[in-house]
Structure 1
Amino acid sequence: LVLAIMTSMAGSSRTLYQASVDGWLPKYLSHVNHNGAPTRAMWTDLVFNLVLLLMSDYVVVLAMSNVGYIIFNFLNLNAAWIHRLDRPSWER
């Protein structure tokens, strides 16, 4: 359970950070530490996951985190594909 939550937090906190940098979410989430890790996005994600853990049983939280992880991966892959369609001559 902890590994599943940590895996989903790694991807979703980076997504929260990038959405904040792009202007879709509050600028609070765009803070990074000296290593480049999005610390405020990770803390926000941790608090959100802890609230979910306190509200329901572990199986529901595990299912919700996995579904969220799959949705974010789907959206990120589609964004990369659309980016390649819009700019086919750009270097990878």
Structure 2
Amino acid sequence: MSLRISDAVVWQETGEGISLYHTETGDFRTLNETGSKIWLAVAGGGGAQPVASALSREFAGTDPALIKRIVADVHAFIGTMVDQGLFEESPA
């Protein structure tokens, strides 16, 4: 699956992370550092698995338990963003 940011989302980088506004729901939020890394990777054209793999390499090194946890957490975050209409999935 490929991911993209919904056209209904207006966002910008700030000193505190990524601030975003969903124009259809009125939802406003600011993502923390890790959420911002995921957001920017998706904005750059990253799919769920490549984003999860990149973050696990960056933060877990070669620790298999930590890699597994990071991959699961990234997929959970992306799933939440899809459920809330912030990311959209499409076939690769």
TM-score tier after normalising by the smaller chain length: 0.3 to 0.5
Which has the higher relative contact order, 1 or 2, with Cα contacts under 8 A spaced 6 or more apart? 2
What is the TM-score of this pair, normalised by structure 1? 0.37
* Structure whose residues are more often strand by fraction: 2
What is the TM-score of this pair, normalised by structure 2? 0.37
* Structure whose residues are more often helix by fraction: 1
Whichever of the two has the greater Rg, that structure is 1
